[in-house]
Structure 1
Amino acid sequence: MAKILITDDSEFIRTIMKSILAEAGYTDVIEAKDGKDAISKYKAEKPDLVLLDIIMPDMDGVQFLEQIQPVSSKICMVSAVGQKDMIDRAKSLGAVDYITKPFEKEKVIETVKKLLS
C-alpha cells in the first residue's frame, strides 16, 4: 500500500484529507503541520505521494520543494484559488498535479489514484 504524507498547517484540512484517503483504502498516512515538519517526515518516511499545501507559516510548499531536491516522490499541491504563480513555480520544482481548495472528496480520490497508478 502506498505511503502518503499530508502537509498542511490546518489540522482540520489534514483530518478531512486523512478521512477521505482512509475511505478510499489509503491507511498509511503521515501528517505534517508545516514545511519544516514535512522535511523531516519526508526524509524519514520516504512517502510515495505528498499532498502539499502551498501557503504555510515558517516554510511554504515551494520552499519545501526547494529543500528536497531532487524530488523522489510524487508531489500534489493543495492550493486555494488564485495562487497560479506559486503552483507554476512548484511544478517547475517537481510537483506533478494540484488540488484546489475547497476540494471535493471525489477530486481528491481521483487525483491520488491517478498519481499512484
Structure 2
Amino acid sequence: MSTILIADDSKFMRLHLKNIILGHGSYNILEAADGKQAIDLYKRLQPDLVVLDITMQHVDGLTTLKEIMNIDDSATVVMCSSIGTQSNITECLQLGAFDFIIKPHFDRLVDILNELITNNKLKRSE
C-alpha cells in the first residue's frame, strides 16, 4: 500500500482531499498543516505521493516543493492550490511537480491517481 502526504494549512481541505483519495482505494495517509511539517515528514517517511498546497504558514508550498525535490529528485508531488495562475503552474512544473490541480477541480486528482497507478508509481489496496 502506498503512502500519500497531504500538506495544506486548512484542516477542512486536508480532510476533503483525504476523503477523495480514500474513496479511490486504501492508502496510508499522512497529514501536514504547514510546509515545515511536510518537509520533516518527507525526510523521515519518503511518501510515494505528496499533495501540496502553495499558501501555507511557516514554509510556503513553493519552498516546500524545492526542499522535497532537493531531498529526492524523483519525488512525486502534485500541487493543489486555488492560486492557479499560469506563472505559478509553470514555476511548480519547472521545479519538478508532477502536476498541478486548481482548487476546487478535484476530479483531476482521481485522474492523476489513476495515471500514477497505471505507471506503477502508486499502489493501492482495494
> Structures share a fold, TM > 0.5?
yes
1:6-36 deviation per Cα after TM superposition (whole angstroms, max 9, x unaligned): 0101100100111111111132110111110
Q: Tell me what 1:13 maps to.
A: 13
Q: Report the TM-score, using the length of structure 1 for normalisation.
A: 0.89
For residues 67 and 84 of structure 2, what CA distance do their matches in structure 1 show?
A: 24
Aligned length: 116
For residues 82 and 25 of structure 1, what CA distance do their matches in structure 2 show?
A: 27
Contact 2:51–2:78 under 8 Å retained in 1: yes
For the residue of structure 1 that corresponds to 2:74, the secondary structure is: coil
Q: Provide the aligned C-alpha RMSD in A.
A: 1.5
Q: Report the TM-score, using the length of structure 2 for normalisation.
A: 0.83
Q: Tell me what 2:100 maps to.
A: 98
Matched, 1:89 2:91: yes
Q: What residue identity is the alignment partner of 1:73?
A: A
Q: Tell me what 2:116 maps to.
A: 115
Unmatched runs of 5 consecutive residues or more in structure 2: 119-126
Structure 1 residues 82, 90: CA separation in 2 closer, same or farther (over 3 Å shift)? closer
For residues 66 and 21 of structure 1, what CA distance do their matches in structure 2 show?
A: 24
Percent sequence identity over matched residues? 40
Once the two structures are superposed, the pairs formed by residues 1-117 of structure 1 within 5 Å of their partners are 1-68=1-68, 69=70, 70-104=72-106, 106-117=107-118
Deviates more, 1:90-99 or 1:9-18: 90-99
1:46-102 deviation per Cα after TM superposition (whole angstroms, max 9, x unaligned): 111110101112211110122221433211110215432122111111101011101
Contact 2:84–2:102 under 8 Å retained in 1: no
